[in-house]
């Protein structure tokens, strides 16, 4: 009997190890701590993929901050409402006048994040910036300014460390190229 959660060896190619990810997050936490020192910072995690990255990043940020979450959904190309993005869980905190840092697991097409930026700007934050663990510029359709990025990757499909395939493989402690079945 095979375990449906465990991908076969020919499906995964590790491209970022747990150690590489940990080192990069520590570096990012230090930079963010320096950049936002003395400012009222709100971290906004985009659910669900950002959770792994967000938790580890917050442990490396050494200044006070508030934490909130937002969830968005987008409809696939097969849907009648292709390209439509909507908020499925909104912020609980007010971001008016605060420095907001959106935490994402991956920025690729920029479609969802472009929508989110437009929406959050209407709430009058002092500033609004993006922090992502994985940046895939080759897939960008909508230009979004990524202020803090962990790793630039080519146009490959990856899983692990919050990134999923059909809601699976988020819990891998590394990031791997995944050859979908």
Q: How many CA atoms lie within 13 A of 150 on its CB side?
A: 26
Q: Which residues pair with 149 in a beta bridge?
A: 132
Measured CA to CA, the distance from residue 104 to residue 150 in angstroms comes to 11
Active-site hit among 10, 68, 92, 108 = 108
State which H helix or E strand residue 28 sits in.
helix 18-35
- The question of whether 108 is a catalytic residue gets the answer yes
Query: What is the separation of C-alpha 152 from the centre of its chain, rounded to a whole number of angstroms?
Result: 13
Positive or negative torsion for Cα 70, 167, 85, 179: positive
> DSSP per residue over 116-181, as a string?
HHHHHHTT--SEEEEEEEEE-GGG-SS----SEEEEE--S--EEBTTB-BTTBSTT-SSEEEE---
Measured CA to CA, the distance from residue 163 to residue 159 in angstroms comes to 5
Active-site residue set: 108
């Amino acid at each position: 009997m095979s375990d449906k959660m465990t991908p076969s060896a020919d499906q995964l190619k590790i491209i970022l190890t747990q150690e590489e990810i940990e080192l990069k997050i520590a570096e990012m936490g230090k930079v963010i701590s320096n950049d936002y020192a003395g400012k009222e910072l709100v971290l906004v995690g985009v659910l669900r993929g950002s959770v792994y990255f967000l938790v580890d990043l917050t442990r490396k940020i050494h200044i006070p901050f508030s934490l909130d979450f937002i969830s968005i959904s987008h409809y696939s190309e097969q849907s009648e409402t292709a390209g439509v993005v909507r908020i499925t869980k909104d912020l609980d905190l007010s971001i008016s006048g605060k420095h907001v840092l959106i935490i994402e697991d991956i920025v690729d097409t920029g479609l969802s994040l472009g929508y989110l930026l437009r929406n959050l700007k209407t709430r009058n934050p002092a500033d609004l910036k993006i922090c992502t663990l994985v940046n895939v510029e080759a897939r960008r359709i909508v230009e979004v300014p990524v202020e803090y990025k962990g790793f630039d990757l080519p146009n490959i499909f990856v899983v692990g460390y919050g990134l999923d395939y059909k809601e699976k493989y988020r819990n891998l402690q590394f990031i791997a190229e995944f050859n979908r079945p």
